[in-house]
Amino acid sequence: MGLRFTVLASGSTGNATVVYNGDKMVLVDAGLSMKKMDELLREQGVAGHQLDALFVTHEHSDHIKGLGAFARKHQLPIYANEATWGAMERHVGAIEADKRVVIETGEDMRIGTMQVRSYPISHDAAEPVGYTFEDDGEKLSLATDLGYMSEKVKREIIDSDVLVLESNHDTEMLRMGRYPWNIKRRILSDVGHLSNVAAGEALCELITDRTKRVYLAHLSLDHNLMDLAKLTVTSVMEDNGLFFKKDENPLRETYHDRPTAWDEVKRK
């Protein structure tokens, strides 16, 4: 079957993504309530007990809000690095010892035949990571909550068949927005979030002949619009010599309140 995935929700109100290879199914983050997580999974034809593991990127609420309750209900092992466990433990409640899996950042893991690899990212959390998933020659990379696109991150996610990449904000909308300046400064910093322009600049180096689709993710509800993000990212790529026909543009949408359709990584 190869890799399939659905982004259940993406943004500051909650994040969760399901990855499936026909044998094993894993969830990355559980940033919505347990009830909402179950609801979104049902929309995609999945029951919580069908999941085999839950991976955590970092401890911010929009990534772990329903983590403890959801994992306990469905008896799921939770994978996270030691620093993230330490930062989130008081928020997720009691987790049985055999469900608490400590991983090293950069470690390659196997869930059935699916290879999962974490990699460090720049964000204001204890030890935040992104994840890549590989199976049967296919590669899916999840890269959000990035203060900036480091060379190390580029090396990890380049040559992905499908990439889920943060395009958080339009810089001018953010500067003119209602947030206090200290919050704006955090978002704009190297431990904040990628802007539309930064996402476009990163894609100029990340898109290869192998890349089929790029999902723009973690858009701000206050300081971005999906049409604006797509337009800005496309313009930046065109300015750098990357042109796509209308029906070949690789950019796809994610949503804060509903899932993306199941996507097969190998699909052209």
Looking at residue 46, its pLDDT comes to 98
Among 204, 226, 227, which residue's Cα sits nearest to residue 149? 204
Region of 22 (left: φ > 0; alpha: ψ -120 to 50; beta: rest) is left
pLDDT of residue 248: 79
Residue 118: enclosing H or E segment and its boundaries? Answer: strand 114-120
How many whole angstroms separate alpha carbon 147 and alpha carbon 205?
17
The domains located in the chain, with CATH, are 4-264 (3.60.15.10)
With a cut of 90, say whether residue 96 has pLDDT above it.
yes
- List Cβ neighbours of 135 (8 Å cut-off, separation of 6 or more): 2, 3, 21, 113, 114, 115
At a CB cut-off of 8 Å and minimum separation 6, what does 74 contact?
Answer: 48, 49, 51
CA–CA separation, 207 and 242 (whole Å): 9
Give me 5's structure tokens. 């995935």
245 confidence band (pLDDT: 50, 70, 90): confident
The pLDDT of residue 119: 98
State yes or no: pLDDT of 243 exceeds 90: no
In this structure, what token pair is assigned to residue 144?
């959000």
Mean pLDDT along residues 1-18: 96
Each residue of 124-177: pLDDT tens digit? 999 999 999 999 999 999 999 999 999 999 999 999 999 999 999 999 999 999
> Can you give the pLDDT at residue 249?
85
Share of the chain above pLDDT 70, in %: 100
Average pLDDT over residues 57-68: 98
CA distance 148 to 262: 29
What pLDDT sits at residue 36? 98
pLDDT in tens, 190-209: 999 999 999 999 999 999 99
CA distance 16 to 222: 20
User: According to the model, what pLDDT value does residue 57 have?
Assistant: 98
pLDDT, position 244? 83
Q: Which residues pair with 169 in a beta bridge?
A: 195
Q: Are 91 and 69 in contact (CB under 8 A)?
A: no
Instruction: Specify the amino acid at residue 19.
Output: V
Between the two ends of the chain, the Cα-to-Cα distance in Å is 15
Give residue 247's pLDDT.
74
> Tokens 């800005």 map to which residue?
232
Does 68 score more than 90 pLDDT?
A: yes
Residue 94 has pLDDT above 90, yes or no: yes
Q: Provide φ and ψ at 227, rounded to 5°.
A: -65, -40
Average pLDDT in the chain: 96
**pLDDT-derived band at 226, boundaries 50, 70, 90:** very high
**Strand, helix or coil for residue 182:** helix
User: Alpha carbon of 237 to those of 140, 215, 259, 260: distances in Å?
Assistant: 21, 15, 27, 24
Q: How high is the pLDDT of residue 267?
A: 83
